[in-house]
Amino acid sequence: MSATRAGLTGRLAIDGGEPVRASMLPYAHQQIDDADVDAVAAALRSDWLTTGPRVPAFEEALCSVTGARHAVAYSSGTAALHGATLAAGLGPGDEAITTPMTFAATANAVLYVGAEVRFADIDPGSLLIDPELVAGQVTPRTKAILPVDYSGQPADYDAIRAIADAAPGGRALVIADAAHSLGATWHGRPVGTLADMTVLSLHPAKIVTTGEGGAVLTDDDELAARLRRFRNHGISSELRARTDWTYQMVDLGFNYRLTDLGAALGSSQLDRLEGFLATRRRLARRYLDRLAGNDAVELPALDPDADSAWHFMFVQLNLDRLTVDRGGAYHALRAEGIGVNVHYIPVHEHPYYRGRYPGLSLPVAERAYRRLLTLPLHAGMTEADVDDVVAALDKVTTAYRA
Ligand SMILES: Cc1ncc(COP(=O)(O)O)c(C=O)c1O
């Protein structure tokens, strides 16, 4: 349902006026077509619901779209992050540096293996981890750096690589959290080739989905072998490769396997990756053009040498031009039928992390969080949907103009 004329101006829906949209536009939504349904149905009718041939086929498809040598599918992005920190050899006494502007899973994966997190604050415009602040967090214990490609834009991998290579305790590994950035490029290089390991999430909100799912991409044969073991109880052989009943458990691993149902869906989705990305980029460009005239919102800072996958669009409110705070704007926009969201509550502000790292202050992330809104962006949206969001933002920021 698109905007009605009366809803575009006048009384805010939160005050009883007519909303811009009659039904809620979600911030994210999966795109499932008949080919996806047929692919999953074929997997269901096959002999293999899990540990079957569709998983390596999906992994090969991931390699061919990203250029990575190896892809290891996991049951979720979180499991894939855990696999990556295990494969990196992180453990008690080690430290890993990451950003506070992420979903807690990124930092949690460091804690799962007994290592400690050090947070480096972010750039105020892109909200990507700031390499200079990463350098300030390096200690002789630093074993890994986990940048996050926030909103789909890759972090500064050359700067981070240089810091990791110069770590005083020996070369640290770069583990990219690319949950948002499948299909993005940075200085002409695709996500999946920018770090030692690159972690994808294949949750329905992401660029492509397997239901729940994730993957780790790497060019390193030894890391790939470890990643395969850790998702399969630490067993050194895959079920279909065995010639008799014997197998060896050589590491303490987990059951983090992706099913063949998920892999079938993922392969079918990857066939449409280029189209998904093209739509997201076209809609993002329209947002940037249309919002440029609204001085109550600050647009994302973009690296001209990056081509974002645009997992979501974010804006930061210029609160000194408004009489509401972010929470007020959020509720007013939701009342207008715009499914805005907030990514993210900075990780160190969650009670668990507050308890673990008391008094930690990361002022750039904290200020950004107070001003942040995620705007709807997914491959099922149209230009008219973007125009509704822009109209609702104009309506709300006009009504609350300071
Ligand atoms: C940046 C980031 N890292 C990790 C994850 C975890 O992925 P999953 O939900 O697939 O476990 C997410 C998903 O929300 C994410 O956005």
Shortest-distance Cα residue to atom 14 of ligand 1: 103
pLDDT of residue 6: 54
**Number of other CB atoms surrounding residue 114 within 10 Å:** 12
What single-letter DSSP state applies at residue 201?
E
Tokens coding 253: 């691993």
If DSSP codes are grouped into helix, strand and coil, which group holds residue 338?
strand
Query: Half-sphere exposure of 363 toward its Cβ, with a 13 Å CA cutoff?
Result: 0
pLDDT of residue 199: 99
Q: What are phi and psi of 328, to 5 degrees?
A: -65, -45
How far from the centroid of its chain's Cα atoms is residue 305's Cα? 20
Q: Which residues of the chain have pLDDT under 50?
A: 1-4
Tokens coding 343: 């990514």
pLDDT of residue 258: 98
Could you tell me how many residues make up the chain? 402
Query: Which position among 82, 206, 231, 371 bears the catalytic label?
Result: 206
Query: Half-sphere exposure of 167 toward its Cβ, with a 13 Å CA cutoff?
Result: 24
DSSP calls for 81-130: HHHHHHHTT--TT-EEEE-SSS-THHHHHHHHTT-EEEE--B-TTT--B-
Q: Which residue carries 């899973």 as its tokens? A: 105
List pocket residues of ligand 1, CB cut-off 6 Å.
Answer: 76-78, 102-103, 105-106, 148, 177, 179-180, 201, 203, 214
Report whether 105 contacts 123 (CB < 8 A).
no
* Substitution candidate for ligand 1 out of 30, 103, 106, 151 with most atoms within 8 A of CB: 103
Report whether 214 contacts 77 (CB < 8 A).
yes
H or E segment to which residue 356 belongs: helix 351-356
42 CA to middle of ligand 1, Å? 28
pLDDT tens-digit readout, 225-273: 999 999 999 998 888 888 999 999 999 999 999 999 999 999 999 999 9
Report whether 154 contacts 184 (CB < 8 A).
yes
b or e along 71-80 (b: 16 or more beta carbons within 10 Å of the residue's beta carbon)? bbbbbbbbbb
Q: What are phi and psi of 384, to 5 degrees?
A: -65, -35
pLDDT of residue 1: 42
Report whether 252 contacts 236 (CB < 8 A).
no
* Substitution candidate for ligand 1 out of 99, 128, 201, 210 with most atoms within 8 A of CB: 201
List, in sequence order, the alpha helices (H) in 101-241: 105-112, 131-137, 157-165, 221-230
Amino acid at 35: A
Report whether 160 contacts 175 (CB < 8 A).
no
Report whether 385 contacts 313 (CB < 8 A).
no
DSSP calls for 45-93: HSS-SBSSTHHHHHHHHHHHHH--SEEEEESSHHHHHHHHHHHTT--TT
pLDDT tens-digit readout, 268-325: 999 999 999 999 999 999 999 999 999 999 999 999 999 999 999 999 999 999 999 9
- Is 395 assigned a catalytic role? no
Report whether 125 contacts 301 (CB < 8 A).
yes
* Substitution candidate for ligand 1 out of 203, 254, 311, 312 with most atoms within 8 A of CB: 203
H or E segment to which residue 146 belongs: strand 142-146
155 CA to middle of ligand 1, Å? 16
Give the pairing of strands 313-317 and 297-298: antiparallel
CA distance 129 to 119: 9
CA distance 367 to 390: 23
List Cβ neighbours of 382 (8 Å cut-off, separation of 6 or more).
none
